[in-house]
Chains A and B, each alone.
Chain A
Amino acid sequence: MNRALPETLQWQQQQQSYFSELSGVFPSQTSYLCFDGGFMSSDSVVTREVKPDNGLETAWPEQGKLEMGSFGFEFEPCGPSYNMNYAISRTSSCPLAAAELVSGKMGSGSAVGSGNESFKKRKADKLQNSKAVVEDDSMKKIKAYEEEGESKITGPSNSNKSKHKKENSTDTSKENSKVSEVQKPDYIHVRARRGQATDSHSLAERVRREKISERMKYLQDLVPGCNKITGKAGMLDEIINYVQSLQRQVEFLSMKLAAVNPRLDFNIDNLFTKVEEFPTVQEVANPIHYQHFNPAQEVVSETALRRTISAPVTIPDASFLDSSCFAQIQPSAAWDDVELQNLYNVGRFH
């Protein structure tokens, strides 16, 4: 549980670093970020709103006003606000009449608890203003649960008690091979108790659940910080957060690219050809700075970009630029992507 926290913190820090990068690029972001709402497609599910303006000053005293503005504007129209509400509904104290009820009674309560901690650390300094909104929402949630009462409720509770008995009996009686795979009590506890189906359907249900859990395991490997969470709801939450953060990163990066390149001429073809043209630079770079092989190639690519963007530079100038750029590049942390190096490598040999 504690190990998941640094990962999520790192992830959040990464997000924040993007925010700060972006705020460095623009002096005023208000118009842009309002427009951002149009791109998020998750509006249909979300009806709750975050009111960021009141709480912003109190919630983030340490960040610049610019970033607060950016946070606020982003959250207003978008889907992530619902997610924030969800996270907050787990961490804020009062409406956890609802959450404690949930975590107390759920079998995967420990999972929710661990999810609570990670969310607390991640969102603790954000969105305390939305507590009021969340309280109302959680009260509504409780009422909704009571209203939407199902007859299936008695069904699941009975079937849960008899589930283990059923498992044993079917193991002895059934000849299907898939039943033997199911004899794993740990995740049966954890999976949601929706086994209200009768015997004829139970096998299909079990198969389906097996498939789902298998795929969730792959997702666990993919999403960082998901290893410690065993509950389905918690894992889904992590997955949702991750997907949303990736989508947000794409938005910000495209905005950054739009800001940096007024003419949008990346000219990768030029870049690849220029890389071919400077084999000597590459060879000089390689033996000397082998551990900075990455930046060496990036330097060449940068000179190529510079060629396309600014006035043409002669080759001796290019080599001079290369050496001067080494000092700039070395402390960079962004160029540790070996795969991008491979990318450029392969591109060079096209």
Chain B
Amino acid sequence: MWTPCGMARMRPHSSLKQEFLKEWIKGLQRCSFPKKSILERKKAIKLSADIAMASARNGTTCWSRALISSAARDGSDNNHLVKQILGPESDRPAMENKAPAREASVCKKILKRSCRIRRRGRRKCGAAAAAPSSIAKHLVKKRRQILRSLIPGGEFMNEICLIEETLDYITSLRVQVDVMRSLATASVRGTE
């Protein structure tokens, strides 16, 4: 019987939170902070939180690798920040991600090509599409597309993988939100 890795990870919830918090604070401390702008600070906070969340998975899930690789992609403005946050010790997940990044772009092209071909094939058959099955299909497909766009690295997953990744991503997001919220309220109270 398949037990989702997300469910397995839901049980040690507090340890995941702890790990995330440690990684996040470490990442924040590594960032250089002469930043005056609130937006830059926000970006740094969010970025370090995302990377901490993703590295807590240690490269076992697709979305975490996609998140780190997209954050570390060359040419983006926050590249230097990411390098700082990732630091010397977490080279391993960063290295793993270089290959998926290349494969990712190739996969994207293949997907686009296949979508184009499929669309062309559909237009050639000109039957009326008022049947409920096609409408249902379209609805579900549209939603699945949206979900793919939400989950990092979702474009390259098949359905089953997508749902598994969604599970894991949701648990990690929850952890992230909980920790950030408690830290935010603690620091707000601290400065009152």
A93: Cβ under 8 A from any B Cβ: no
One of B80-88, B94-102, B124-132 contacting the partner: B124-132
How does the 8 Å CB contact mask read for A106-131 relative to B, with 1 for contact and 0 for none? Answer: 11100000000000000000000000
- Which of B14, B33, B46, B136 sits near A264, CB closer than 8 Å? B33
How does the 8 Å CB contact mask read for A21-49 relative to B, with 1 for contact and 0 for none? Answer: 00000000001100100010110110000
Q: How far is the CB of B177 from the nearest CB of chain A, in Å?
A: 5
Known: A212-B159, A334-B185, A343-B21. A253 touches B146 (CB 8 A): no
Counting chain B CB atoms within 10 Å of each CB, the highest count among A236, A332, A342 belongs to A236
Q: Are B39 and A32 in contact (CB under 8 A)?
A: yes
Counting chain A CB atoms within 10 Å of each CB, the highest count among B49, B152, B186, B192 belongs to B186
- Which of B167, B177, B179 sits near A222, CB closer than 8 Å? B167
Interface residues of A in 317-336 (CB under 8 A from B): 325, 328-329, 332, 334-335
Residue of B nearest to A248 (CB): B177
In the complex, A233→B135 CA distance in Å?
Answer: 11
Known: A145-B138, A214-B2, A233-B136. A302 touches B167 (CB 8 A): no
B109: Cβ under 8 A from any A Cβ: no
Known: A233-B143, A253-B181, A264-B45. A305 touches B33 (CB 8 A): no
- Which of B4, B43, B122, B159 sits near A149, CB closer than 8 Å? B122
Chain A residues with Cβ below 8 Å from B2 are 211, 214
- Which of A39, A153, A223, A256 sits near B184, CB closer than 8 Å? A256
- Which of B6, B134, B190 sits near A150, CB closer than 8 Å? B134
How does the 8 Å CB contact mask read for A58-102 relative to B, with 1 for contact and 0 for none? Answer: 000000000000000000000100110000000000000000011
Known: A146-B130, A160-B133, A243-B166. A254 touches B187 (CB 8 A): no
Interface residues of B in 117-164 (CB under 8 A from A): 119, 122-123, 125-140, 143-147, 149-152, 159-160, 163-164
B31: Cβ under 8 A from any A Cβ: yes
Counting chain A CB atoms within 10 Å of each CB, the highest count among B6, B13, B46, B174 belongs to B46
Q: How far is the CB of A156 from the nearest CB of chain B, in Å?
A: 4
Q: Are A222 and B25 in contact (CB under 8 A)?
A: no
Interface size class of B (residues with CB under 8 A): 35 or more
In the complex, A194→B22 CA distance in Å?
Answer: 47
B176: Cβ under 8 A from any A Cβ: yes
In the complex, A130→B167 CA distance in Å?
Answer: 31
Q: Are B188 and A215 in contact (CB under 8 A)?
A: no
- Which of B18, B35, B46, B134 sits near A145, CB closer than 8 Å? B134
Q: Are A233 and B140 in contact (CB under 8 A)?
A: yes
Chain B residues with Cβ below 8 Å from A101 are 130, 135
Q: Are B190 and A306 in contact (CB under 8 A)?
A: yes
Q: Are B167 and A343 in contact (CB under 8 A)?
A: no
Q: Are B132 and A107 in contact (CB under 8 A)?
A: yes
Counting chain B CB atoms within 10 Å of each CB, the highest count among A32, A105, A149 belongs to A149
Residues of chain A whose beta carbon lies under 8 Å from any beta carbon of chain B: 31-32, 35, 39, 41-42, 44-45, 79, 82-83, 101-102, 105-108, 145-154, 156-157, 160, 192-194, 208, 211-212, 214-216, 218-219, 222-223, 232-233, 236-237, 239-240, 242-244, 246-247, 249-251, 253-266, 268-269, 298, 301-302, 305-306, 309, 325, 328-329, 332, 334-335, 337, 339-340, 342-343, 346-347
9 shortest A-B CB distances, which residue pairs?
A105-B132, A305-B190, A258-B41, A149-B127, A258-B42, A254-B46, A236-B143, A193-B133, A253-B180
Pull 20 A–B residue pairs with CB atoms less than 8 Å apart, ordered by A.
A45-B149, A102-B139, A105-B131, A106-B136, A107-B132, A145-B138, A147-B123, A149-B126, A149-B127, A149-B134, A152-B134, A194-B133, A215-B163, A223-B170, A256-B188, A257-B180, A305-B186, A325-B189, A334-B181, A335-B185
Known: A152-B134, A334-B181. 20 other contacts (CB 8 A): A79-B146, A101-B135, A106-B132, A106-B136, A146-B130, A149-B122, A150-B127, A154-B127, A192-B136, A193-B137, A215-B160, A218-B6, A223-B170, A243-B173, A250-B176, A256-B188, A264-B33, A268-B21, A343-B21, A346-B18
